[in-house]
Structure 1
Amino acid sequence: MLDADRRSPKGRGKVAFVDIKELTEEPLLRILTMNGVKAVVDLRPLPIFERPRFRHGQVIFYLHDRDIRYVEFALMVRRPMRMGTALAAMHASDLYRKIELALENGLSLCLNDKASRDLGWLDEMRRLVRLSKARLSELRSRALIGMPL
């Protein structure tokens, strides 16, 4: 009989938080490939991979082509101020569970920027990871293969 680690995907329940300012397209795609990333949660309020560092269409195609689940946090939490916090909004609409399901399938990246930090969305996502029933855990971004983050 196989133990639980062999049955579960590599990196299952691990979440790495990466500041998009530290990346360009090539290192991002390398991180996704070399680490077997299964989901990307984009915490940025404007989730666009802007030129000259990225080609938005190419990044999105890459994610789709490799069956990496891409979640735009901003679309899921449209009215966090009316509901209190982003986390309260997610609980009220069952979005918490949808994000949690994406994160528990394998190694996940949470892309963030200054705007997501200023809105408190990065803190909310870290809280989600700590309090998750799915036993999620934060992985230091420096642990990603071959990246000096």
Structure 2
Amino acid sequence: MIIRCLNCGTKNRMPENRLNAHPLCGRCGAPLVVESGLHTPVEVTDSTFLGEVLTSNRSVLVDCWAPWCGPCRSLASHLEELAAKYGGGIKIAKLNVDENPLTAQQYNVRNIPTMLLFSKGRLVNTLVGLLSKEEIERHLLSVMETS
């Protein structure tokens, strides 16, 4: 991730796992301002799934969805809110199953929306259907506590 210093304008490369560690500019030493809207769901594909999900140092919820799916679109706002709330502790990813059939097939995604919960690169729970934000949050918290 690249963060531009508001003091001197230098572009600083920062690993995502250090964003909450009050990073400083490498050139002038000024504190780097990390935007509050930083924690949003990240798009994953068949080719990025390994790096974004399986080797992540955080727990990951993968939303398996498709653009034509009404319940998937309803779920999107809940996941955006949860990503903003728990972004430092859990990553929320979105996998378009129409464009990424290999990963969907590998994890036996037959219905959408399906949410896959990973901890330390292992699938620990599968949630199928349109769930309330509170129900999803309950599952997120249980995964965060065990990781």
Scaled by the length of structure 1, the TM-score of the pair is 0.28
Higher strand share: 2
Scaled by the length of structure 2, the TM-score of the pair is 0.29
Higher helix share: 1
Q: Which structure exhibits the higher relative contact order, with contacts defined as CA atoms closer than 8 Å and separated by 6 or more residues? A: 1
Higher Cα Rg, which structure: 2
